[in-house]
Chain A
Amino acid sequence: METKKIKVIVTKIGLDGHDRGLKVVATILRDAGMEVIYLGKFQMPEDIVKAAIQEDVDVIGISCQSPNHILLIPQVIRLLKENDINDIMVVAGGIIPEPYCSQLKSNGVNEIFGPNTSSQEIVDYITSNVRRRV
């Protein structure tokens, strides 16, 4: 039985450079058997969505330690919608205060992983909720 690997883009958004967590998450997902594309720093919503379409990914994982998340992540969601894409899961992680978490979730972000989420929780969430395309 062959299953296609889950394909994930992990990325920073905007100008925030703190990527220690993102690198750790990239390794965790890779170790869990996913195909991980590390987009890196200084990515704007347009860059992220473009890469996601080109690479035909299942998941976009965005890391931010700056409050820019509340302004930039909704733009990612909007761009996905504008491109008629509704089967890519969007998850975020980093320092995101609670009020913004609810706001982002109602905006269309599937899940937000705070600072103490375990590796297993992230892997489990993605594997059980990914909207696989046929």
Chain B
Amino acid sequence: MEKESSSTKKCQIETDLFHTASGIPVKEIYGPRDIEALDYLGDLGDAGEYPFTRGKHRGMFRNRRWIERVEVGFGRPTDSRERVKYLHEIGQSDIEFQTDLPTEMGIDPDHPMAQKETGLEGIPLSSLADFEEAFEGINILDHTLSIMTTHGSGATSLCQMIGLAEKRGIDPKTLRGSVCSSNPLSHDPWGFPCAQPMDLSLKLCIDTIEYCAREKLGIYPCSITGYIMEQTGINAFQTMAFVMAAGIEIIERALQRGLRIDEFVSKIILHLQVGMDFFENIAKIRALRRMWAKMIRERYGAKDLKSCTPNIVIRTAGDSLYDRQPTNNIIRVAYEVLASVLAGVQAIDTCTFDEPLALPAKGASRIALNTQYIAFYETGVVNTADPLGGSYYVEHLTNKLESEANQMLKKIEEMGGLITAYEKGWIEGVLTEAALERHKIIESGEKTVVGVNKFVIPKEEEESIPIELISPEAQEEHVMKVKRLKETRDNRKVRQALSRLFEISPLDKKINVIPAVLDATRAYATIGEIWGTMRKANGYPYDPFGVIQDPFLAD
């Protein structure tokens, strides 16, 4: 001990590194005694076997590449479509659209609060017309379609996907894709509220799960977004506990509908972040896979093994990137991709290195995608499943995170579950503490960030990178387009569809509204109109911001 800390410099490095990001102390070396109790078949199993700690599929990436993608969403639907086409040209197989804020809130581009927000940090998908424009010239059977959104537009995005398939004469059952983050438990408790009420949103999310299960659609209607939770600054095991707790809330409600666990649970995606703490992130994913599998089989009695192992989708950590010496971010993202691959995930969405400065530029998106290709084709890490399985340290950390997360999950459940913990304000307390702590350790230099608080260069020497600026003209054009749509569509059909939706929407009627939302979508009703109708039917004001009136049904 004495000998090792002989120089001050070394001593500083020690305090910096010898615990994980979530504060778990890390020993000098790990050995057989640290994983004494580990039972191979019970705790690990081969990849593709219960409890799936080592991976979802046999052979993992030997047999199938993960879905690689870079998020797209800006300007008019046509602007985002052009970017997606470019990404396809350079190899991307997926389409991932991030919706803009008005879409996420469930309001239309021509809403007074939306006009200056439309298309700024996502694609506007307010109606089937926007959706058609976004996919024009793209064969939707060639790609998986992912819409990253909130509960504000989860159901409408799903219906737009189905509507588009129908218009092209494609059986919606053959579509592959997902509507991500479409439940309120992925947003409201973590400080990213959509403007729509929790009770309606949650019911609507379960409606989408039920609809997809009963219609046997290939689309994944729901994801639990640990990513959003983690962006608040909470740590690995807190995230795991919250993801499990959100899962329980959703599964319980779907079961209450009379669905069997095996009918729907494999269609719930777990969407997580992989950040800079390399081993802890790997252990987090492995541990979560095991916890989820055990819960689904032991607690919910799933018979089908496929039900026990969710698709785990990763986004690299936006909050691990910095605006100083931004090209360093390429290196950070590369480590995060490597960790994701070693953890055995099903899809990776890489952040672009310019994210702390602006919206992703074209060149930055290409680098983000190439980062994944390099990991796949050049590093050899894909040659065998779960190459870190059996590592004394990784297995120890996997166990440790699982037990910490289980303790916290127990606490949440004793409180009455995730929603109660949120309503009581308990989650808010956890988040505030985490955010302040993260700020403190960076500012105090306790955590070293290269180029930010160490190895800093003068501001004038910082490289300048190309920045894509927004186009107010494109924004105005799109707002006008939506106004025109509202004038030119067959408003008699819209009115009929919305009246029907209004009738069946009250929560106490317990009717699945998706078929009615789908009818409204086919008639080119907009997201704001659909939400407004469902809100009014349940005693909420038509407009969440109290600005506009219902154009169809008098109050």
Contacts and interface: CB of A to CB of B under 8 A. Distances in A.
Check if A and B associate: yes
A67 B359 contact: yes
Interface of A: 14-20, 23-24, 27, 41-42, 44, 66-68, 70-72, 95, 97-100, 114-116, 118-119
Contacts of B193: 17, 41
Q: State the 3 A-B residue pairs at the shortest beta-carbon distance, nearest first.
A: A15-B101, A71-B116, A17-B192
Contact of B435 (A20, A44, A70, A118): A20
A66 B101 contact: yes
A67 B474 CA distance: 14
A19 B232 CA distance: 9
A97 B121 contact: no
B118 to A, nearest CB: 10
Contact of B470 (A24, A70, A98): A70
A19 B191 contact: yes
Contacts of B469: 97, 99-100
Contact of B443 (A19, A27, A118): A118
B317 interface: no
Contacts of B324: 116
Contacts of A71: 116, 472
A1 B400 CA distance: 55
Interface string B424-438: 000000011001100
Given A14-B101, A23-B432, A118-B443, A66 B472 contact: no
B90 interface: no
A24 B439 contact: yes
A15 B99 CA distance: 13
A114 B358 CA distance: 12
Contact of A95 (B104, B356, B464): B356
A27 B436 CA distance: 8
A20 B233 contact: yes
B404 interface: no
Interface of B: 101-102, 104-105, 113-114, 116-117, 120-121, 191-193, 195, 231-233, 322-324, 356-359, 431-432, 435-436, 439, 443, 452, 464, 467, 469-470, 472, 545
Interface of chain A, main secondary structure: loop
A78 to B, nearest CB: 13
Contacts of B432: 23
Contact of A42 (B120, B472, B545): B545
Which of A15, A19, A72 gathers most chain B CB within 10 Å? Answer: A15
Contacts of B358: 67, 95, 97
A19 B464 CA distance: 27
Nearest to B472: A71
Nearest to B469: A99
Contacts of A100: 469
B529 to A, nearest CB: 18
Contact of B436 (A24, A42, A95, A114): A24
B323 A15 contact: no
A133 to B, nearest CB: 31
A66 B117 contact: yes
A100 B231 CA distance: 25
Nearest to B544: A42
B85 to A, nearest CB: 23
Given A27-B436, A42-B195, A116-B322, A97 B356 contact: no
